Amino acid sequence: MNLIEPPEGIRLTQLSAEKILYLWNKLKVYDKVFERGRIGDFDAFRNMLCREDTLVLEMDGGLVILDNIIDGLRASCHAYFWENKIHALRPLMKDLILYGFFQFDLKRMECRVPFYARSVMRFLEKLGFKQEGRLRNAWEGKDGVLIDVLVYGILKEEVL
């Protein structure tokens, strides 16, 4: 994958074994760490990060992963923030979304959000994402209960 330089404040992550373990320890507290695998599955997490259709980007206070990238079409976006001030990161996230669209000539980008994550939904909507649907009983929560997931999407022409 030939990558252009990401915007200022965003870094491409070099995935050493130590870095993957560091990210796992940061992210395993979330109800769901990506769609593949189950909660607590380090091997599935590591394998997902190392796939050719995955790009890991860091910023101060957070991490964004683009995966399931299909050049010229779409990608899934996963954002994790270890600071509660996610709204302060909105300008960086806008730059990152534009970077994804131009780097891979994407037509659309999507995010999946647990139904109860209202602050994340508002954050995505302020970035221009639109709720496109609801997947019933799509993820398994930490307590083993299946939860609904909302699908948010944004089209290239909506960010330009």
- Residue-level length of the chain: 160
CATH number of the CATH domain containing 68: 3.40.630.30
Instruction: Tell me, yes or no, whether 88 lies in a domain.
Output: yes
CA triple 55-93-152, angle to 5 deg: 80
Instruction: Tell me, yes or no, whether 3 lies in a domain.
Output: no
Per-residue pLDDT of the chain (160 residues; tens, 9 = 90+): 678 889 998 999 989 999 999 988 888 776 555 554 455 778 888 888 899 999 999 888 888 889 999 999 999 998 888 776 777 788 888 999 999 999 999 999 999 998 988 988 999 999 999 999 999 998 887 777 888 999 999 999 999 8
Instruction: Tell me, yes or no, whether 135 lies in a domain.
Output: yes
Instruction: Please identify which residue in the block is written with the tokens 């796939």.
Output: 51
Instruction: Tell me, yes or no, whether 43 lies in a domain.
Output: yes
How many domains does the chain divide into? Answer: 1
Instruction: Tell me, yes or no, whether 67 lies in a domain.
Output: yes
Instruction: Tell me, yes or no, whether 4 lies in a domain.
Output: no
Question: 107 is in which domain, residue-wise?
Answer: 11-159
